[in-house]
Amino acid sequence: MLHLTFDVKIERPRGTRDFLPDEMEKRRAIERVMRRIAESYGYREVLTPTFEHLELFTIKSGEGIVEEIYAFKDKGGRDLALRPELTAPVMRMFVNECTGMPKPLRFYYFANCFRYERPQRGRYREFWQFGVELIGSNSYLADVEVISLSYEIMKTLKLKFDLHIGHVGLLRHVLRDLDEKKAERIMRLIDKKDVENLDRFLDEIGRTELKDVIYTLMELVGGLDVLDEAKEIVRDFDFSYIERVAQTLESLDVEFKVDLGIARGLDYYTGIVFEAYAEGLGAQNQICGGGSYRLAHLFGGEDTPATGFALGFDRIAEICEIDVERPKKVVVVSFKGLEIEAWRIANMLRDKAVVVTDVMERSVKRQLSYANDIDADYAVIVGERELKEGKVTIKNLRTMEQRTVKMEELLSEL
């Protein structure tokens, strides 16, 4: 045991967290639900490196993104970055190693990501994402599957959320004759619902005639009938894809709103996009985001359709009230000199329960007191008198009942 103290107390780096046992048990319980459901749809887990070449993330998002990334040079002078998300790494992995696998591919991941941003509630510099990617299909059924899967996970976790589904193609279509920079800026403002600046910007670039269409689309949030209204406004766009997705989801009893104003900051989305928002999280209320996208060709592969989503695990953990099942906990209490007997009995019981023994050479009283403190279900008391007859005492710490039983009967008593 060291008894050194140092002048400087070392604290957690900014935007990181420590997870104590109670919280880890809850997080693991949530994680198990997510994994179980994803696996039941045929998704299999993958894991990519914690850091990648910086380029992987700048290819699609531009150099500006570096400000928000943990980027660094390694000792060989390579530009690397801690992954800020997992879609790009998974697609990189797909291009590198999976192009020969039978399509469609169903992958899921659960891993930590890093962003260099000002932390606030629901936003940390190290955070966890659970997500899936369905690679190789351009059918509407792929979008339907991925959306249903995310919906089922959130429902099973009893989250209160609103699921919004849109199509970026529509806004892109409306803005098709603008140059990319202007279109991008408008998409951003739409995503933020910042009408004031949007208005000013459209005036600035002299495209006031777009206002009506854009503002109307932004307000179009609701049931399937929203699509009919949109058709009236944008006559030369093909709504059949989103219509099929929406109708199919509705017949599968997925509750959602059509929201043609979803733009999403990412520019690699190409078709259906969806987001889920939860109550009780403050400003950072988005718990799920996804859609269909094209990335493979950017990483040197064949142009491959893909669709997926990522769940904000930490935000979900914050609002989710899941019942954590704890295994039975037994404390084997021993009188002085019977420690080895206690160990033997503990080892015998470990198949069936969590078993702890005294490692502080404390009195029986203190051992029981400790059993109570750690919320144990049973105490098994090992004493000389019982031991002579091959027996031990088992005490139910909840009901205070206690019985002396033969060693062989002990297992069935729990």
Partner RNA sequence: GCCCGGAUAGCUCAGGGGUAGAGCGCAGGACUGUGGAUCCUGUCGUCCCGGGUUCGAGUCCCGGUCCGGGCCCCA
Using the minimum distance from each CB to RNA, give the nearer residue, 139 or 286: 286
Among 282, 297, 324, 389, binds RNA (CB under 7 A): 282
d(CA 249, CA 230) in angstroms, rounded, equals 19
Nearest in space to 342 (alpha carbons), one of 361, 323, 319, 326: 361
In angstroms, give the least distance from the CB of 259 to RNA: 15
What residue type is assigned to position 64 of the chain? G
Among 85, 143, 259, 314, binds RNA (CB under 7 A): 85
Does residue number 326 form part of the binding site for RNA (CB under 7 A)? no
Q: Which stretch binds RNA (CB under 7 A): 34-42, 115-123, 140-148, 236-244?
A: 115-123
Does residue number 7 form part of the binding site for RNA (CB under 7 A)? yes
In angstroms, give the least distance from the CB of 310 to RNA: 7
Does residue number 363 form part of the binding site for RNA (CB under 7 A)? yes
Write a three-state SS string for the chain. Answer: CCCCCCCCCCCCCCCCCCCCHHHHHHHHHHHHHHHHHHHHCCCEECCCCCEEEHHHHHHHHCHHHHHHCCEEECCCCCEEEECCCCHHHHHHHHHHHHCCCCCCEEEEEEEEEECCCCCECCECCEEEEEEEEEECCCCHHHHHHHHHHHHHHHHHCCCCEEEEEEEHHHHHHHCCCCCHHHHHHHHHHHHHCCHHHHHHHHHHCCCCCHHHHHHHHHHCEECCHHHHHHHHHCCCCCCHHHHHHHHHHHHCCCCCEEECCCCCCCCCEEEEEEEEEECCCCCCCEEEEEEEEECHHHHCCCCCEEEEEEEEHHHHHHHCCCCCCCCCEEEEEECCCCHHHHHHHHHHHCCCCEEEECCCCCCHHHHHHHHHHCCCCEEEEECHHHHHCCEEEEEECCCCCEEEEEHHHHHHHC
Does residue number 10 form part of the binding site for RNA (CB under 7 A)? no
Does residue number 89 form part of the binding site for RNA (CB under 7 A)? no
In angstroms, give the least distance from the CB of 317 to RNA: 14
Q: Which stretch binds RNA (CB under 7 A): 35-43, 138-146, 251-259, 368-376?
A: 368-376
Among 48, 87, 150, 357, binds RNA (CB under 7 A): 87
Pairing of strands 354-357, 329-334: parallel
In angstroms, give the least distance from the CB of 362 to RNA: 4
Among 1, 3, 4, 11, binds RNA (CB under 7 A): 11
Among 98, 221, 233, 266, binds RNA (CB under 7 A): 266
Among 27, 106, 264, 315, binds RNA (CB under 7 A): 264
Using the minimum distance from each CB to RNA, give the nearer residue, 122 or 166: 122
Does residue number 371 form part of the binding site for RNA (CB under 7 A)? yes
Q: Which stretch binds RNA (CB under 7 A): 6-14, 19-27, 96-104, 210-218?
A: 6-14
Using the minimum distance from each CB to RNA, give the nearer residue, 46 or 262: 262
Does residue number 329 form part of the binding site for RNA (CB under 7 A)? no
Binding mask 32-71 for RNA (x = CB under 7 A): -------------------------x---x---x--xx--
Using the minimum distance from each CB to RNA, give the nearer residue, 119 or 301: 119
In the numeric block, which tokens belong to residue 56? 């992987």
The residues of the shown chain that bind RNA, judged by CB under 7 A, are 7-8, 11, 13-15, 57, 61, 65, 68-69, 84-85, 87, 115, 117-123, 188, 191-192, 264-266, 282-284, 289, 335, 360, 362-366, 368-373, 379, 381, 383-386, 393, 395, 397-398, 400, 402
